[in-house]
Amino acid sequence: MNLNATLIAQLVVFFILAWVTMKFVWPPIVKALDERAKKIADGLAAADKAKADLSHAEKKVVEELRKARESAGDVRASAEKQAAKFLDDARAEAARIVALAREAAQGEAAVAAQRAKETLRDQVANLAVAGAERILRREINAQVHADLLANLKQELQ
Amino acid sequence: MATEAPTSGEYIVHHLTHMNSTGHKQAAVIDWSVWNLDTLFFSILLGVVTLFFLIRAANKATSGVPGRFQAAVEILFEMVADQAKGIVHSAESRKFVAPVALTVFVWIFLMNSMDFLPVDLLPRIWAAITGDSHAYLRVVPTADLNGTLGMSIGVLLICLYYNVKIKGFSGWVHELFTAPFGGHPLLYPVNFLMQMIEFLAKTISHGMRLFGNMYAGELIFMLIALLGGTATVFGFLGHIVAGSIWAVFHILIVALQAFIFMMLTLVYIGQAHESH
């Protein structure tokens, strides 16, 4: 337990070691640890952001789906409406055509009936003339009695 | 090798004598012309080992996933950095003070750990190398008062430096005379005396605490070795049992004393930053 010059030497060694540690040991470790802390913080922030993005995207997807469903419903409704309108139009057109055809047929039928009546009238007149000829047993001058015959035809109408 | 077995007293005295520059036991209590070569050798060697490991860890330190060695050094680093942050409040000072604390802790831990080597191992090897069976060698630098007081005086110098740096020279002198009792002129001498006693007591107790623990630990290892040296069944078993128990207990002391020295270093430097 004696004191000697070792004490001074130890004092110097102490400062040399402390200086070297301060210069070459402490700063790199501080740097590495700070960098890692920053990395971890960044990583956590990125994870949080990703999570937020994901939930945002999910919300957006739900929204888009809802919109798509809505617009699909709209499209279907309008298509149905249009189809119904087409159907109605077609029905109306068909009814119109049918009515026209019926009218035309009726007109034609009326003309034909008129013509048949006239023909019949002519034939009846001729028959009446022929009958009268036979009755009178003599020829009637057609020209002389044309007026008479026309009147007769008129009456038969 | 000793030709005749030494007595217990001779064995202990031999083991407690330094290999110094004179070659024989130092006569005067204080003699500044003598160097303890063994203390110097082992403390510088372990200082180099300390720096080697720390610099290796520092160079390999990456911000990526740390390996086990790096993680271990980082745990140590964080422990010291946290303590420094809690005690020394100036971030500027911590740039120097925290590395000092780390160095002190690792270095003292290694120097204390020299106690775990069998007490006769290195002295016997040294005796064989020199061919002198009475060659002195002490392997625990912290069991040498010169070693521990050298470090505690280093801490004192750092404290004085920060006292002047933080408070200014006149501010510090003013504090020396007015604290702790007050600014009355009659109290100046009392204050100054008190301050001097405080600095002296801090430094001496700082160095003595470590020295005392390691010296006592080393001495007990020697006594246990003496027990084994009786070459009886009782001595042999006693050596094994007591040696094991003391070695396990000494692990605590080695780590604890290194930690205490580091903490007191921080506390004393922290006090130098505070105005009374």
B126 in Cβ contact with B137 (< 8 Å): yes
The contacts of residue B20 (CB under 8 Å, 6+ apart) are A4, A6, B26, B34, B35, B36, B37, B38, B136
**Residue among B58, B95, B149 whose CB faces A28 most closely:** B58
Q: In chain B, positions 58-87, which contact chain A (CB-CB < 8 Å)?
A: 58-59, 61-64, 66, 73-74, 77-78, 81
Query: Residue B123: what residue type?
Result: P
B199–chain A nearest CA distance, Å: 17
DSSP B21: T
Q: What percent of chain B has pLDDT over 70?
A: 98
Say what the pLDDT of residue A1 is.
64
Domain chopping of chain A, boundaries: 6-156
Q: Which range is most confident: B19-23, B65-69, B87-91? A: B87-91
Calpha distance A6→B123 (Å, rounded): 20
Closest CA to B2 of B140, B128, B139, B138: B128
In chain B, which residues have their Cβ closer than 8 Å to the Cβ of A28? 58-59, 61
**Structure-derived torsion over alpha carbons of residues A17, A23, A25, A31, reported in degrees to the nearest 10:** 160
Q: Do the domain assignments include residue B246?
A: yes
pLDDT band (50, 70, 90) for residue B228: confident
| Nearest beta carbon to residue A11 from set B57, B77, B153 | B153
Tell me the chain A residues in contact with residue B55 when contact means C-beta distances shorter than 8 Å.
20, 24-25
Chunked mean pLDDT (size 10), chain A, 157 residues: 85 92 90 89 95 96 95 94 94 94 93 90 83 71 73 76
Span B200-228, mean pLDDT?
Answer: 92
Q: Is residue B2 part of a domain?
A: no
Residues B11-39, mean pLDDT to the nearest whole number? 85
- Domain hosting residue B35, numbered range: 8-273
Cα distance between residue B252 and residue B260, in whole Å: 12
pLDDT at B177 over 60: yes
Query: What's the CA gap between B29 and A143, in Å, rounded?
Result: 189
Give the one of B54, B96, B154 whose C-beta lies nearest to A14's C-beta.
B154
Which of B57, B107, B149 is opposite residue A29, by nearest beta carbon? Answer: B57
**Would you tell me which residues 185-204 of chain B have a C-beta closer than 8 angstroms to some C-beta of chain A?**
none
Please state at what angle helix B145-167 crosses helix B91-113, rounded to 10 degrees: 180
Of B97, B159, B111, B123, residue with least CA distance to B12: B123
| Mean pLDDT (whole number) for B154-179 | 91
Dist CA B84 CA B97 (whole Å) = 8
B chain contacts of residue A5, beta-carbon cutoff 8 Å: 32-35
Q: Are B110 and B100 in contact (CB under 8 A)?
A: no
- Which residues in chain B are closer than 8 Å to A22, comparing Cβ atoms? 95-96, 99-100
Determine what percent of chain B is predicted with pLDDT higher than 90: 51
pLDDT of residue B2: 44
Lowest-pLDDT choice from A108-117, B38-47, B65-74: B65-74
Say how far apart CA B42 and CA B144 lie, in whole Å: 11
Residue A32 touches chain B, beta carbons under 8 Å: yes
Question: What's the pLDDT score for residue A5?
Answer: 86
Examine the pLDDT at B210 and tell me if it is beyond 90: yes
Q: Does B136 touch chain A (CB under 8 A)?
A: no
Per the domain annotation, does B207 fall within a domain?
Answer: yes
Contact B116, B103 (CB under 8 A): no
Query: Rounded to an integer, what distance in angstroms lies between the CA atom of residue B95 and that of residue B84?
Result: 10
Active site residues of B: 205, 209, 213
ipTM: 0.86
Q: Does B152 contact chain A (CB < 8 Å)?
A: no
> Quick one: pLDDT at residue B276?
63
Number of structural domains (chain B) is: 1
Half-sphere exposure of A140 (CA within 13 A, CB side): 18
State whether residue B208 sits within 8 Å of chain A by CB. no
